[in-house]
A and B are shown apart, each in its own frame.
Chain A
Amino acid sequence: MRYWVKGRFTKGAILGLVIGEAFSVVFILFGSSTYLSFSNRVGLSTGLSEVALTILLALFLVGLIQSGFNGSGLPVSSSDVDYVFTSPVPPREVFAAKVLLNSLTTVLLGFPPIFVLYLRFSAYYHTSWSSAVLAGLVTLVFLVIGLLLSADITLSLGHGLGERKKLWRNIFIILVIAVSLLPITLLIPGIPVEVAEVTRVLPNGLAAAVSVGLVSGTSGGLAYLADLLLLFAWLGGVLVLGVRMSRGHFYDLLEVPAASGEKFDHPNQTSRLDPKGKSIWSIVRLKEKIMISRTREARAQFISAVFLSGFMIIYALSGSFQSSPTSFLFILFIIGSFGSGTASRWIEKERLWLLKSSPLSMRRYVKEVYRARVAPLLLYLAPVTVAVGVPLILGGLSQPSFLLGVILALPGALEIASITMAGGMFFASKYGQSSADDILSSQQQELADIRRFLFQTIINLVMVSPVLLLVFVSETLVTILGPGYLPTLAVGLLSVSILFTSLSINFLLNKAGDAVSRREDL
């Protein structure tokens, strides 16, 4: 346990943890305020909060079940296999130490944002802060149950996951989702209220019911006590199951991540890179698209975009945009910053020895990779922007000053996403770990990652601030010049914005190409 703790909580990891926690707390505060504003505006009861939390926790549970079935319910590294599993330490102790460590990490990582979430709810419902602490602890119990369940599933798999077991996995997951989503049927008139009670057979439903009850001040009585007891029964059950299953050697059941960190569902594929008649650069773009689709990056990007659009639509419906132009700028940045994450690890997938020993121009190469990566990003983000923008434009037709801001902000969000993606690629080129990095140790790399994250955030903010500024001053400009100038202003400012974006992207990508050329850690 101390060996793993020492390996995990390095100086870089702790610094990263603090920064990550700070960001997640800000995000949770923002998200929960939006939700409560929406809830207040539409006049929803605490029942919806319970349902929302049930679904949120169900997503977490499904993720853990999935990782359990994938064989990574008990995360191990290759050095664990080499040194821990070959040692005379009894497997049951290895299991206990691994689960304890994972739980400890989850509690450390999870508690601050969860506590902030419940604190925001308890302030809204005028309950004491101690109820938020208790609610947070209940949710943590749920998280530990999830981790144990995931470990149990992995240990129960035997060697690999056969086709029949895949069927069971899918049935299991669908069942959890179906039961968790059942309360949504309450929106249909005539459906009995008891339907919502069904979710209380699962740990996510139980945790949501008890936590929301505590922060909203509606807890108490035998029903809540029964829910709590049932939750702990789940905890006891999965713990006993895990301990029983870890009696024998189990390391061969675990999936040790490959050095490349990539997983492929199907080792054989139809080759799609036909070079006949194509230029070098179209082949580079095609290669990048194939890589994105095969390494699950495209799927992850799509899922993130779906979550983002859901969040944005709720935010737009809550009316927060109309009430405060600054919050609109914040939203612009949330859509925009979506770009930086998607390309932040591109350099790890590159093979720099191959590229740098070829006669290719690195500046041009980076630009072509960017072209291949930005296209799907804009494809996913454009519908999100339209979904948010259409009701705003329709609602703002009578207010020209407001309308100009919206007209600038919709493409502005996409421009910001494009700039932050270019920024992400530049910082990855400068600080990211390459495919065969033999100079930086993992601890040094963690510190480099943190430095990169901070620089990237600051520089990206600076780079996109002119676009944000244009949106911000648009209302004042229309007021000064008059509504008659709206079309001219819209065309003029939009052109300036697009020109600035193009120049910024070109600048960042040139810097990225130069950074790749200068790298010596191949």
Chain B
Amino acid sequence: MAERAHSGPLAFPLQENPLRERRVIFRRYGRNALIAVLLSMMFYHIFVVETDWVRMGGIREIISTAAEFWPNPAFIPIIIDPLLETLLIAFWGTVLATMFAMPVAYFSARNTSPFYPVVYLFGRSIIVLSRSTHEFIFALIFVSALGLGPLPGILALGFRSIGFLAKTTSEVIENVDRDPIEAMEATGANPISVFMFGILPQIYPIVVGNVIFQLDINLRRAAILGMVGAGGIGYVFSEQMQAYEWNNAGTVVLGIAVMVIMGEAISNRIRVRLISGVGGDSKGIE
């Protein structure tokens, strides 16, 4: 409309322009029709062409197959150790990630990064690399480099989590109150002391909250890392699946669910305490 205003007088008012009317009709109905056609094509492809309805059988058969995954209580003692291993992989992976994420965060926060933008871009690339690579990719790399076991799992989770922790932490660093930092600089403190006294006290509740959140996510990730040989409960699951031991596989699924729910309950409680400052003299996150 705006460009027409300069092209001389119009033969008729805009509202009555028949061309425009036709375009509006297409926009209203044509586009919806196009979406409907595309959706039905997708539906047809997935549910008619690609699904083997004959093999699936009737509803009764589906239910009875699913029921074969009913957990086997006798398998519970066998999954305890791998579950604990999973917990440890998640824990140490998160610890490792936190250790590396803090300097990366310092380098990729605009207000603290030395020699801006050289080191800043380096830090940001680490974040992007870590966040855009699936933990299975890291796990496969470390399994081939170090062999089977929990260590490649820990490294995989560590590398996978650096990105999230460094990104969130660098954003918190960028938003700190500058006044105390100015005061620290005025005392003649060097940059590391300024960070420890001026910045860290301001950011730690949020950072600790994010680390616990990451630990919670890593517990889920650690539960499947074993499928590619990186230790933990995932290996037991794929082993039982390959042996057609559906009940045992069901037990594993139940075990993972219990562990994840417990982990989430505990981490939520800690994070709420951190944020609301219950039990401490903290006033919480501004």
- Say if A and B assemble together: no
